[in-house]
Structure 1
Amino acid sequence: MTDQPDYKSTVFLPVTDFPMKAGLAQKEPAILARWQEMDLYGKLRERRKGRERFILHDGPPYANGDIHMGHAMNKVLKDIIVRSQSLLGKDAPYVPGWDCHGLPIEWKIEEEYRKKKQNKDEVPAQEFRAQCRTYADKWVGVQKDQFKRLGIMGDWEDPYLTMKFDAEATIVSELLKFAQSGQLYRGAKPVMWSPVEKTALAEAEVEYEDIVSTQVDVAFQIVEAPNAPELVGAYAVIWTTTPWTIPVNQALAYGPDVEYVLLEGDGRKFVIAEALIGAFKERSGLVHAQPHKHFKGSQLAGAIARHPMHALGGFFAKPRPFLAGDFVTTEAGTGLVHLAPDHGEDDFALCKAHGINPVFAVENDGKYREDWAWLGGQGSVINPKFVSKDGPICSDLREAGGLLAASDDFKHSYPHSWRSKAKIIFRCTPQWFIPMDRAVGDGVIPRCAEEESILARQGNGATLRGTALDAIENTRWVPERSINRIRSMVEGRPDWVISRQRAWGVPIALYVHRKTGDYLVDISVNQRIVDAFKAGGADAWFGADHQALLGPDYDLNDYEVVNDILDVWFDSGSTHSFVVESRYGEGARADLYLEGSDQHRGWFQSSLLESCGTRGRAPYDAVLTHGFALDGQGRKMSKSLGNVVDPLKIIAESGSDILRVWVASTDYFDDVRIGKEVLAGSSDAYRKLRNTFRYLLGALSDFSEEENLPVAQMPELERYMLHRLAKLDAELRGVVDKVAGSENWLEFSRYTRALFDFANSDLSAFFFDIRKDCLYCDAKADLKRRAYRTVLDTLFHALVRYAAPIIPFTAEEVWQSRFPNTQESVHFLEWPEVDAAWLDQKLDDKWTEIRNLRDQVNEAIEPLRREKIVRSSLEADVTMGMAVPSDGVNFAEIAIVARIETGVGDGIIVKPSDWHKCGRCWRLLPEVKEDGTLCHRCDEVLSA
């Protein structure tokens, strides 16, 4: 046989410079630089000006430390949503922001002082606040660059910061709205207090950890019992895991319907709930004690006990009354509860109802005050040694005969400060509160214009709790089940304690009359305060000429200047006012808030309460909640476990788009996992989509508009692929468009899965595979080839848009690769125009059957390929018993085999074809008489 000609140069192979290897870590910074140079975000705002607006309001992270995986997941998800809304043609601005006040930053500055053996309290307040501001500003800059590297598109030149003067002025203005409408009061009640940080904490600043505490049984001798005289001389036994509250005890609580017994043993009698005798005997060692009298708790009404330390006199010599408490149960303990109104919500409420007031014995550092008769100046009360069974409290009780049992082995969950990780206590202190259940119009402050405005929005008699619960019902929660969490939290939450005893933040800028205790409500004074904040920020309050702020109508000597700091959750809860409303107009409301599930007790709730209290409505139309990022084994990430997955490292090694694919692919409504295996899966999915784009770019290298072919002239396969594209378009739009997709809105795991499956299954493994012969070997003007390339062009323009929100860097690279001389960006584009007329269910049913048969044929060929009986499916002849829809379909071409006979025999039989191979297209055809010679088609193409 003579040498055959080499036809390689005659085949129309794809041509592209788009590399298979992504090299994202190296390419992405250059793309970022181009976006910045062209002012991508600014130009996009210009192009979308006047369009329907979509506002995703950014929840502010704290400006301290490098970003972690939670940050990355949150910001990427926000960016995907914002970009997808822009793709819909909407004006979708994104203003990133930072929470700059509060303990996270203040604590870091204090740590620096502690390292230098310096006392923060000795530093001038202005100097300390300046250091906090500098620290926050530093980390805003660091985090900004890290977020930008993730591909987050936004107004990075003008982000919002809670420490900007305008922001601080607006925050204090929002506070004064509460004051003006009577929705603010100062009172003393137990709040969560950190002795380490010396401030009150909000629920959102607390986390719970398991600890081991000291549990004690303490005896209070009964000295009066008008309804059961035989109890006089007996000992009422209380059980507690907070022995440090015994020095502040003021009463005892019983359950009126609880069954009690008089237990006699060791020469004394004890009052215990009948259901708890066994546990008490085990703890106390009084195993032989026997019950002698059974009685209802109601018989303890009017009874009086004395404190075990009564011999100290004064406070400790006062009678301890028995009070009926509906919170007393027989689940644990003794069925009797000692009451310290300074240190428990139930204790406080019950004692207050009976005229028993707090005594403020425990100082802000957790020590008993110096003049306290028992353990004065000692503590700290959260020190395990101080409260242990051998500590001073138990030792003194033991010596006085009041300690019946003590052990350091009680395991339970206990609240800790989220930042310092130290245990906290409930401590009664004077604080500022926003009431949840006070009707607007019932405040202690006279009616004013601001209150009238709120009344008009909320309705006379509305409470903040009621308004917030109504707003919750009128908000869309994604996923739907998340409404249950926020609703239950608002239903059960106490009054909002908004004051903190710190230095770095927005002050509660009020003047309190020294005689009446009322705070001043004067619109003119308030305006001067706000103006001062606009000019000098929060520092203006601490160095203010307060007489000048009060004006000529008031004497500063008559007023106390409040210097407490606002809860940072009030700061962040007010951001809707100085971000959304100030930038987009009064009454503007965010379309979406999006944060982790912990923000149901944090930002979602504080924003809801702030807006409901000042505007009578929620600040958002919808709220999306996502879970937390866990390690590959589903564990919480922890430095101590060494399982922290660093997003910055992933970006440096693999690029941001890989991380973004992971975020978009997860079922982020629940906690999600990330690790090497998970990221490998994301990388593989990305690689396949990239190769789809690479094929499209190569196949369309010389495509021109003149090559376009009308749909009506296209073969059935092309029309089927347009149908599949239209179905994909509807599914993706259902995720992005709130109107189009009621159930799947913002479920981007569905979006990403559909997009990637289409590229892999419909295109690469099916359409591209079948038509590569047409692309390579048909004449350029052939109608089938033109139809194929027309569809490829349609697919390109659709897919690059669909992919842009998920992988913005790669989408830009793809777009620039096809249109290298354009000054445009893929992110200026809008949702592709997909004709609904392409949808054809009959075509879908027919081709679904054809694809199933094709898969069966491929499966039957595979064993012969493995055994190298055939090298490719092109060399196979197939007979099959199943019928194939034949009208308009060449099934041999679809299955990519030499020939196929249907309706013959049973099952599928494959054998090597005895036809010869065309030297150009490599198909085995009957007209090819010798391997390497040309088939009719190839001969015609080369002869033309």
Structure 2
Amino acid sequence: MADTPESPSGRDYRETVFLPETPFPMRGGLPQKEPLILEQWGDLYGKLRAQRQSESAPLYVLHDGPPYANGDIHIGHALNKTLKDFVVRSRFLLGYDVDYVPGWDCHGLPIEWKIEEEFRSKGRRKDEVSKDEFRSACRAYAGKYIDLQRDQFLRLGIVGDFANRYATMDFKSEAAIVAEFHKFKNSGQLYRGSKPVMWSPVERTALADAEIEYHDHVSPTIWVKFPVIAASDDHDDDLLAFRNPTPSIVIWTTTPWTIPANRAISYGPEIAYGLYEVTAMETGLEFEPWAAPGDRLIVADKLAEEVFKAAKIASWTRLSDLNPSGLECAHPLAALDPGYGFSVPLLSGDHVTDDAGTGFVHTAPGHGADDFEVWKAHGHHEVPDTVDPDGAYYPGVPLFAGLKVLETEGKKTGKFGPANGAVMEKLIEAKNLLARGRLEHSYPHSWRSKAPVIFRNTPQWFIRMDEPLKSGDTLRETALQAIDDTAFHPAGGKNRIRSMVEGRPDWLVSRQRAWGTPLAMFIDKQTGQPLHDAEVDARIVAAIAEGGADVWFTAPDADFLGQHDPARYEKVEDILDVWFDSGSTHAFTLDPRLPENGYAGNLPAHWPADLYLEGSDQHRGWFQSSLLEGCGTRGRAPFKAVLTHGFTLDENGEKMSKSKGNTTDPLTIIKESGADILRLWVALVDYSDDQRIGKQILQTTVDAYRKLRNTVRYLLGALSDFDEAERVAYADMPPLEKFILHRLWELDGQVRSAYETYRFQDVVRPVLEFCSGDLSALYFDIRKDSLYCDRPDAIRRRAARTVMHEVFVRLTAWLAPLTPFTMEEAWTTLYPDAGTNCGRVIPQTPDAWRNAEEAARWASVQSVLEVVNDALEAARREKTIGGALDAWPTVTGPAGSFAAFDGLDAAEVFRTSGAELVDSDQGGSDAISVAVNLADYPKCARSWRRVPDVGSDADYPELSARDADAVRAWDATH
């Protein structure tokens, strides 16, 4: 076809050509169009649920992992919420009734820290603000960002029960969280213990593992001598003779400030140790070393040379093997203050290695998890408290009282204070510092304040991992079984969370903060045990449900205690770890949500959820806290399956950072290109791994979108005025139509399977390939002539329009979850009165369309077509022909090469005016050859084909017979 048909008679045949017509524009204009579609949808989620419930559809539940209510959404939010929307929309598409309640996490450190900053900017310290005022400011802040993020999620096209959204700060949510906590309290799984925990002096609170991030940090390193003062009877008398001079055990540490808290030295029972004597020191040094000839030092043999090098020892003699068991040492500061006059025992510990250091581990049970465990394992119960909540030594710490480990105020906030330097100076004075240096290593920091944290012994509340539950299994065992019973997407997530649960310590659930759900319970001052009284618990929960968690801090104790004497009980004002909050969300979103509880509608319970979906970091966060909460209160996980996605990086694979300027703002993408572009990017990436985004990648996404849009636009144009009366039965279809229907049958199975198993990339990529390959490059190109020039009642044209309709109704369904705005626009263009495209289910695809023979035929045809197309393109470049319709190629190949063309018109397949297929009976090459000959016939003024029957109809001498027949029919109706 040409833009302007030639006609010797002067007639313009363009009006007789059935060119595609559609109001569906080539350019999407998505930023302007999508908000209009959102308005048309209205309460789309409510409509979809009502429709599915009227159909008695099976229920599917996706439980929303709550984003944190602070700030605009970022690209990670967009990825996560879009993936969830793919799940929700695809399950509606598959015929389910989908329960999805968006939620928000509101409590905890990030908001508390932000509000502290706001008060500091006004010259007010946190301790100068009442708890009521502070919590009220936190609540208002969270509420502001819930509303903001909700609107941004809606603009992204997210469908969910936003009318009944949940938030952990809602009164009914806080009450439910407290009720869940009471279940642990009353089951005996809760206990108060004194353990070293990650502590942020800057924020004055314990931190969960998920609130810690690691950054490179330069620490001072010291090698310290602990003089041996006693040995057990098992040792040779030789060791006791070494008192002149006294041998010293050498330890190495990167935290000099913990030396005042030292109570033991740990050694490895499988490590070989030796007693060494210094014989000479290095010379020509700029300082006086702290070792001297004659000193006797005990270290691991494997590390001796490294230790002596650090101490500038030039030569030494190994005197004997040494077994550290039963030795006792003096504290290295004992000579300076009697407060350090206690003995320091040697303790066997499996955590000790000879990979680095000295083979001995300085053990401060108040400042390290391994230190604490080995100390307790050897029967010691008293754990010294040396550092206060502000990161300073307590007044009773000899030599160092009041000195700061970390600065918590002013310009140096988060920097190490004078404690390290002071300890090293005192060790020098006591003549027990052997060497010092500096080490750059990975060090824990608070995710929010970015300040270093310390291990600090504090009284906290824990949930036991290894005490038997009513079932007889421990919480750890129950959780591990629940993991085995859960489907993971990708499967590797199972091993990741399993290893974490296998090795995790007891669950630390208390925090010393202001903004959160309280550990709403009373402690008996005489026994130190929580009060177990169902009526007291019920009053607490009811009061919080009515007035929020604030009531716990403001109401008199007597309001809750009833007949109990308030003077006997201590009110716990710690708040719950925010992971306990979010881990409890299943309890108030998956259980019944009834009108009397403030919900619009009576929504059914469905516990456990079918799916939890979050980033891979949630194996140690929300997935794990939900798992432990569900297993501790209900004996199993609150989910049947877990899906995880990776993190979004920039185009170079680097972590996004505002300071680097390499962030991609989803709101900017939506404003400039539209939400469907962002959604299509999500569909195209492998979400199970880290994915990349940037301008170039988004341009590739835009190109893919254009292919989809142009395909749909062509279908809409070709289907203009399509009438069901045109439909052709499958049995009457030409071979090409049967092949396309076979491809639809294939794709239908692939799409359904991919949606069922959350493989969205395996939906969009095969559909894109189908659009660009089977449709645009083959089917549309071959059938263009028939669509434009055949008379409307021609079987070939009717068959083509029938198949294109089948393609259209499936493409708009298959892609509806991924690019819902575009598919809605396309569907309503063809069916303006048929309701939303989002409410459809995938049309059933007849099994009769499966046609392996046609698939094999067209695979062979296309291999020949590729060779012919290459030859035609070469002829065009050489100007032998102007276009394919000028050609009448002769295609030659070995016998049997063209069996697939039986029943086909080769010229129609090649898009030429004619074609000859020749079987070569000569031996030799198996290759197919093409001779591009000119079509030596008159050109049809309507279709531009050069065929022998041009002029065969006397009424239309410039047309081919086919075109003359079509124009005669057209003239009769116009």
Unaligned runs of 5+ in 1: 441-454, 738-744
Q: 1:365 aligns with which of 387, 390, 410?
A: 390
Match status 1:349 vs 2:373: yes
State the one-letter code of the partner of 1:401: K
State the alpha-carbon separation in 1 of the partners of residues 386 and 460 from structure 2: 16
Q: 1:433 aligns with which of 462, 478, 483?
A: 462
Deviations for 1:594-643, whole angstroms, at most 9, x for unmatched residues? 00100000001000000000000110111001111100011110112111
Q: 2:405 aligns with which of 360, 377, 380?
A: 380
Of 428-437 and 224-233, the range deviating more from structure 2: 224-233
Shift of the 841–387 alpha-carbon distance from structure 1 to 2, 3 Å rule, reads: farther
SS in 2 for 1:92: strand
Structure 1 equivalent of residue 317 of structure 2:
290
State the one-letter code of the partner of 2:912: V
State the alpha-carbon separation in 1 of the partners of residues 724 and 242 from structure 2: 102
State the alpha-carbon separation in 1 of the partners of residues 84 and 605 from structure 2: 24
Structure 2 equivalent of residue 759 of structure 1:
771
Shift of the 522–586 alpha-carbon distance from structure 1 to 2, 3 Å rule, reads: farther
1:211 is displaced (CA, Å) by 1.4
1:385 is displaced (CA, Å) by 5.3
1:387-786 → structure 2 map (5 Å cutoff) = 391-408=421-438, 410-440=439-469, 455=470, 459=471, 461-552=472-563, 554-583=564-593, 585=604, 588-737=607-756, 745-786=757-798
State the alpha-carbon separation in 1 of the partners of residues 778 and 399 from structure 2: 84
- When the two structures are aligned, how many residues end up with a matched partner? 910
SS in 2 for 1:212: strand
State the one-letter code of the partner of 1:225: A
Deviations for 1:156-179, whole angstroms, at most 9, x for unmatched residues? 222110000000000000000111
State the one-letter code of the partner of 2:465: M
Match status 1:889 vs 2:908: no
SS in 1 for 2:162: coil
Structure 2 equivalent of residue 444 of structure 1:
none
Structure 1 equivalent of residue 944 of structure 2:
922
Q: 1:167 aligns with which of 148, 173, 176?
A: 173
Of 867-876 and 27-36, the range deviating more from structure 2: 867-876
Shift of the 19–587 alpha-carbon distance from structure 1 to 2, 3 Å rule, reads: closer
Structure 1 equivalent of residue 196 of structure 2:
190
State the alpha-carbon separation in 2 of the partners of residues 806 and 424 from structure 1: 43
State the one-letter code of the partner of 1:393: V
Match status 1:274 vs 2:293: no
State the one-letter code of the partner of 2:302: A
1:803-822 → structure 2 map (5 Å cutoff) = 803-822=815-834
Structure 2 equivalent of residue 315 of structure 1:
339
State the alpha-carbon separation in 2 of the partners of residues 932 and 225 from structure 1: 121
SS in 2 for 1:311: coil
Structure 2 equivalent of residue 258 of structure 1:
271
On the 8 A contact 2:395/2:401 being kept in 1, the answer is yes
1:243 is displaced (CA, Å) by 0.8
State the alpha-carbon separation in 1 of the partners of residues 833 and 369 from structure 2: 70
State the one-letter code of the partner of 1:625: T
Deviations for 1:336-382, whole angstroms, at most 9, x for unmatched residues? 11110001111111212332521111011111112321211111347
Shift of the 932–564 alpha-carbon distance from structure 1 to 2, 3 Å rule, reads: farther
State the alpha-carbon separation in 1 of the partners of residues 167 and 789 from structure 2: 61
Match status 1:879 vs 2:893: no
State the alpha-carbon separation in 2 of the partners of residues 205 and 566 from structure 1: 14
State the alpha-carbon separation in 2 of the partners of residues 631 and 684 from structure 1: 19
Q: 1:339 aligns with which of 363, 366, 387?
A: 363
Shift of the 196–384 alpha-carbon distance from structure 1 to 2, 3 Å rule, reads: closer
SS in 1 for 2:845: coil
1:507 is displaced (CA, Å) by 0.3
Shift of the 325–387 alpha-carbon distance from structure 1 to 2, 3 Å rule, reads: farther
State the alpha-carbon separation in 2 of the partners of residues 932 and 72 from structure 1: 63
State the alpha-carbon separation in 2 of the partners of residues 654 and 728 from structure 1: 29
State the alpha-carbon separation in 2 of the partners of residues 869 and 521 from structure 1: 96
1:585 is displaced (CA, Å) by 4.7
Match status 1:40 vs 2:40: no
On the 8 A contact 1:244/1:381 being kept in 2, the answer is no
On the 8 A contact 1:919/1:932 being kept in 2, the answer is no
Shift of the 27–238 alpha-carbon distance from structure 1 to 2, 3 Å rule, reads: same
Deviations for 1:514-558, whole angstroms, at most 9, x for unmatched residues? 111111111121111111111111111111222221111x21111
1:582 is displaced (CA, Å) by 3.0
Unaligned runs of 5+ in 2: 1-6, 279-291, 408-413, 594-602, 921-927, 970-974
1:901 is displaced (CA, Å) by 1.5
State the alpha-carbon separation in 1 of the partners of residues 193 and 312 from structure 2: 44
SS in 1 for 2:134: helix
State the alpha-carbon separation in 1 of the partners of residues 871 and 241 from structure 2: 94
SS in 2 for 1:911: coil
State the one-letter code of the partner of 1:118: R
1:47-126 → structure 2 map (5 Å cutoff) = 47-49=51-53, 50-126=56-132
Q: 2:230 aligns with which of 219, 224, 234?
A: 224
Match status 1:846 vs 2:876: no
State the one-letter code of the partner of 1:917: K
State the one-letter code of the partner of 1:911: N
SS in 2 for 1:218: strand
State the alpha-carbon separation in 2 of the partners of residues 780 and 388 from structure 1: 92
Deviations for 1:395-414, whole angstroms, at most 9, x for unmatched residues? 12112211111112x12111
State the alpha-carbon separation in 1 of the partners of residues 630 and 478 from structure 2: 10
State the one-letter code of the partner of 1:318: F
TM-score for both structures, normalised by structure 1: 0.94
On the 8 A contact 1:254/1:322 being kept in 2, the answer is yes
On the 8 A contact 2:935/2:947 being kept in 1, the answer is no
Q: 1:235 aligns with which of 225, 233, 248?
A: 248
State the alpha-carbon separation in 1 of the partners of residues 646 and 759 from structure 2: 13
1:5 is displaced (CA, Å) by 2.3
On the 8 A contact 2:415/2:451 being kept in 1, the answer is no
1:593 is displaced (CA, Å) by 0.5
SS in 2 for 1:252: strand
SS in 1 for 2:98: coil
State the one-letter code of the partner of 1:920: R
State the alpha-carbon separation in 2 of the partners of residues 765 and 419 from structure 1: 54
State the alpha-carbon separation in 2 of the partners of residues 757 and 821 from structure 1: 31
1:764 is displaced (CA, Å) by 1.3
State the alpha-carbon separation in 2 of the partners of residues 315 and 141 from structure 1: 58
State the one-letter code of the partner of 1:42: G
1:829-868 → structure 2 map (5 Å cutoff) = 829-868=840-879
On the 8 A contact 1:4/1:933 being kept in 2, the answer is no
Deviations for 1:652-687, whole angstroms, at most 9, x for unmatched residues? 100000010000010111000111111111100101
State the alpha-carbon separation in 1 of the partners of residues 267 and 446 from structure 2: 32
State the alpha-carbon separation in 1 of the partners of residues 755 and 429 from structure 2: 71
SS in 2 for 1:287: strand
Structure 2 equivalent of residue 244 of structure 1:
257
State the alpha-carbon separation in 2 of the partners of residues 617 and 587 from structure 1: 14
Of 922-931 and 50-59, the range deviating more from structure 2: 922-931
1:301 is displaced (CA, Å) by 2.4
Of 282-291 and 211-220, the range deviating more from structure 2: 282-291
Shift of the 932–57 alpha-carbon distance from structure 1 to 2, 3 Å rule, reads: farther
SS in 1 for 2:477: helix
SS in 2 for 1:289: strand
Deviations for 1:22-61, whole angstroms, at most 9, x for unmatched residues? 111111111112222xx22211111111310111111001
SS in 1 for 2:888: strand
Structure 2 equivalent of residue 943 of structure 1:
968
Deviations for 1:470-503, whole angstroms, at most 9, x for unmatched residues? 0001100001111110111111111110000000
On the 8 A contact 2:754/2:762 being kept in 1, the answer is yes
